[in-house]
Amino acid sequence: MAENKKLILIADDDEDYLFQMELFIKSFGFEVLKAQSQKEAEVLIENTNPDLAIFDLMMERDDSGFILCYKMKRKHPNVPIILATAVASETGISFGLSSDMDKQWIKADMYMEKGIRKDQLHKEINKLLKL
């Protein structure tokens, strides 16, 4: 049965948050591949084909998550992506995926503000994976 588990790639430079997300996702029955930087995530994007990806927006650069979304969609166009960020609470700037223009330049399928509840994350992953 293990060989049928979906693989979720998580990239976040916050070690504690990454650990928490890994625990959540494993509890949902998925396998987890982790990256603690944009650079690590880029290597994983090139060498693996995850079923879904969750990227932090701000890592080494303020736009690391946007870059990872773009690279993932170029290499694996059908992999759904959740962009998870605390940018609104940190900067006061908020954005989303409400317009076609936003979706065109933000290559994510979903935007979630950090502080994501476990049940909400599970629901959204299942929706994106069509489970």
For range 1-5, the mean pLDDT? 63
CATH code, 17 = 3.40.50.2300
Kindly give, in sequence order, each residue whose CB lies less than 8 Å from that of residue 71, ignoring residues fewer than 6 positions away. 42, 45
Q: Which structural domain range is residue 122 located in?
A: 2-129
pLDDT of residue 105: 46
How is 43-56 classified by DSSP, letter by letter?
HHHHH---SEEEEE
Gap between the Cα atoms of 9 and 17, Å rounded:
14
Judge whether 1 and 24 are in contact, CB under 8 Å: no
Taking only the tens place, the pLDDT of each residue in 86-127 is 754 444 455 554 545 444 545 678 888 888 899 999 999 999
User: Which value, in Å, is the radius of gyration of the alpha carbons in the chain?
Assistant: 14
Q: Is the per-residue pLDDT at 1 higher than 50? A: no
> What are the angstrom distances between the C-alpha of 87 and each of 36, 58, 94?
18, 8, 7
pLDDT of residue 32: 97
Taking only the tens place, the pLDDT of each residue in 56-94 is 988 888 788 889 999 999 999 999 999 888 754 444 455
Domain count for the chain: 1
